[in-house]
């Protein structure tokens, strides 16, 4: 009598959840960086074997792009709310950078890792053009957000007539990127706050106080 071969499950396990797997793999990329993350690391985090990982997400670059898309989808509404918040320009800008710092902390369980894009894959952008393109797109989108904000502020009289929204947008988006780098490097929150406030003072200085009467 021929014994029947036991049937082994193939493909993804039944409990596989794509969002949970992406979250777990995001943590690996964020902690180790893109280059240092191996397929075995990703398989362990997602609870998948290699064939199942490839079937669900593709190769390592495609996995990272999937993680990046999920990350952007999670943080974009918070940024949009910060950019459209009521208040004068100074208040809105402080809210935007406070949101950035909160995102880096809330989505980070072990300290200041900064932005996923900057911390995990920026140094590998030249090795993988698709990853580099994805990062550049997000950086440009942030600059466009600041351009919209400053153009609106100028139209509302919250910036002087000679102000150049395009130049200011480049400055603000550059500081936003630098905030991520400084946070990941371990700069104290007080120093980061002073760094951001110096930029805000440069873009929209406080009105000079009247000299005390003699």
Q: What is the mean pLDDT of the chain?
A: 84
Tally of structural domains, the chain = 1
Residue 10 counted as domain residue: no
Residue 211 counted as domain residue: no
Q: What is the pTM of this model?
A: 0.81
If DSSP codes are grouped into helix, strand and coil, which group holds residue 210?
A: coil
Residue 7 counted as domain residue: no
Instruction: Return the DSSP state at 38.
Output: -
Per-residue pLDDT, 111: 56
| Lowest mean pLDDT segment, chosen from 83-87, 133-137, 156-160 | 133-137
Residue 9 counted as domain residue: no
Domain with 27 in it: 18-203
pLDDT in tens, 160-186: 999 999 999 999 999 999 998 888 888
CATH number of the domain residue 83 falls in? 1.10.357.10
CB-based burial label for 68 (10 Å; 0-12, 13-18, 19+): buried
Residue 62 counted as domain residue: yes
Relative orientation angle of helices 18-32 and 60-83, to the nearest 10 degrees: 90
Q: Can you say whether the dihedral through the CA atoms of 127, 117, 37, 51 is positive or negative? A: negative
Residue 43 counted as domain residue: yes
pLDDT in tens, 130-143: 888 888 898 999 99
CB 186 within 8 A of CB 112: yes
If DSSP codes are grouped into helix, strand and coil, which group holds residue 199?
A: helix
Residue 154 counted as domain residue: yes
| Per-residue tokens: 40 | 């075995």
Residue 4 counted as domain residue: no
């Amino acid at each position: 009598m021929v014994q029947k071969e036991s049937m082994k499950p193939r493909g993804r396990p039944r409990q596989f959840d794509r969002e949970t797997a992406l979250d777990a793999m995001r943590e690996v990329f964020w902690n180790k960086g893109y280059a240092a993350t191996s397929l075995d690391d990703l398989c362990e985090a997602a609870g998948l074997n290699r064939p199942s990982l490839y079937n669900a997400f593709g190769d390592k670059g495609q996995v990272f792009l999937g993680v990046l898309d999920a990350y952007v989808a999670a943080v974009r509404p918070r940024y949009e709310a910060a950019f459209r918040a009521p208040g004068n320009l100074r208040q809105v800008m402080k809210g935007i950078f406070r949101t950035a710092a909160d995102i880096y902390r809330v989505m980070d369980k072990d300290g200041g890792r900064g932005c996923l894009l900057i911390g995990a894959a920026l140094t590998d952008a030249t090795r993988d053009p698709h990853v580099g393109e994805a990062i550049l797109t997000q950086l440009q989108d942030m600059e466009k957000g600041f351009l919209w904000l400053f153009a609106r502020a100028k139209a509302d009289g919250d910036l002087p007539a000679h102000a150049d929204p395009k130049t200011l947008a480049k400055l603000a988006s550059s500081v936003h990127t630098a905030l991520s780098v400084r946070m990941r490097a371990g700069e104290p929150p007080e120093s980061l706050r002073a760094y951001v406030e110096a930029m805000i003072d440069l873009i929209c200085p406080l009105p000079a106080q009247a000299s005390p009467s003699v």
